């Protein structure tokens, strides 16, 4: 019997419901959270949860316990690059990778983001090499390469689009706003339920050493999408600025979800 212990670094908005799903499928699930209080709460719900804080200076908390006897580690640590451009996500992940190499972990699922692609790249699939121009995009790309090229590990990279589901509805934040930019940009979104299904399929099918762009194949224009969604919520629709005719926007699609995982999307965006 193969060891079916899965560890999730980052039991947050996506990691927690994923942990419940994995447990229901018979996996043993461990995970990390950033505070002792959160860990205690999850432990009371029957989860093996460990406090863990990763910074540029190193790792505080129970990293060895998290990684012990783990078959696959899912890395879901948000880069935090929007809030604080000074954060060095790459350095944080170097510390994590050092600890992983000392452990029994052999397989990694690294949650990344479609922001590794630049708008100037237009339509992209996994065949297109990311050419990030932003600081955040460049750091994410460096971390992808760090894990993917590590010889001791088999890493699969999952690049999620904008995440929706649960209480997360980006239309709420745009309601009533004026003169928003990029109205003609296609949306690159994915529902949390599909995120969880895709991660489960990667494990079930042992699809390691791969890259998946995980984005719903429907790409309505940003202006159409958010005007529609705010109306559905009974909120004031946003307005969009006049578009430039020569703008290029990225549209992220996946070939590998279909060809490798045979995955079809369940949730609409």
For residues 251 and 238, what is the distance between their CA atoms, to the nearest angstrom?
22
pLDDT band at 2 (very low <50, low <70, confident <90, very high): low
- For residue 84, what pLDDT is reported? 53
Asked whether residue 83 carries a pLDDT value surpassing 60, the answer given is no
pLDDT 10s digits, 53-65: 998 899 999 999 9
Q: Which residue has the higher pLDDT, 194 or 243?
A: 194
For residues 67 and 59, what is the distance between their CA atoms, to the nearest angstrom?
13
- For residue 186, what pLDDT is reported? 97
Region 165-185: what's the mean pLDDT? 92
**Class (C level, CATH) for 5-167+189-217+249-259:** alpha beta
Asked whether residue 228 carries a pLDDT value surpassing 80, the answer given is yes
Of 30, 36, 147, the closest CA to residue 100 belongs to: 147
Asked whether residue 1 carries a pLDDT value surpassing 60, the answer given is no
The residues, any chain, with a CB within 8 Å of residue 45's CB and separated by 6 or more, are: none
- For residue 4, what pLDDT is reported? 87
Asked whether residue 209 carries a pLDDT value surpassing 80, the answer given is yes
pLDDT 10s digits, 110-155: 999 999 999 999 999 999 999 999 988 999 999 999 999 999 999 9
Q: Which residue has the higher pLDDT, 82 or 124?
A: 124
Region 38-50: what's the mean pLDDT? 90
C-alpha torsion angle, residues 261, 98, 33, 110 (rounded to 10)? -20
Question: Does pTM surpass 0.75?
Answer: yes
- Beta-bridged to residue 107, according to DSSP, are 72, 154
Q: What mean pLDDT, rounded, does the chain reach?
A: 93
């Amino acid at each position: 019997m193969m060891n079916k212990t899965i560890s999730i670094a980052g039991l947050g908005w996506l990691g927690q419901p994923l942990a419940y799903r994995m447990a229901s499928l018979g996996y043993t699930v461990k995970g990390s959270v950033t505070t002792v209080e959160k860990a205690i709460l999850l432990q009371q719900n029957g989860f093996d949860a460990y406090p863990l804080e990763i910074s540029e200076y190193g790792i505080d908390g129970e990293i060895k316990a998290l990684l012990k006897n783990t078959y696959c580690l899912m890395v879901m640590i948000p880069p935090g690059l929007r809030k604080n451009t000074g954060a060095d996500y790459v350095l944080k992940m170097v510390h994590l990778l050092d600890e992983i190499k000392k452990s029994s972990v052999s397989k990694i699922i690294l949650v990344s983001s479609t922001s590794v692609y630049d708008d100037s790249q237009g339509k992209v699939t996994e065949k297109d090499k990311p050419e990030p121009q932003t600081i955040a995009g460049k750091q994410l790309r460096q971390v992808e390469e760090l894990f993917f090229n590590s010889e001791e590990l088999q890493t699969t990279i999952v690049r999620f689009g904008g995440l929706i589901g649960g209480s997360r509805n980006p239309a709420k934040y745009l309601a009533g706003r004026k003169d928003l930019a990029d109205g003609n940009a296609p949306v690159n979104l994915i529902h949390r339920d599909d995120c969880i299904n895709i991660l489960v399929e990667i494990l079930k099918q042992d699809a390691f050493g791969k890259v998946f762009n995980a984005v719903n194949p429907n790409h309505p224009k940003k202006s159409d999408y958010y005007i529609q969604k705010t109306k559905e919520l009974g909120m004031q629709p946003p307005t969009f600025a006049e578009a430039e005719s020569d703008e290029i926007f990225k549209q992220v699609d996946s070939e590998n979800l279909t060809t490798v995982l045979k995955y079809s999307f369940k949730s609409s965006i």
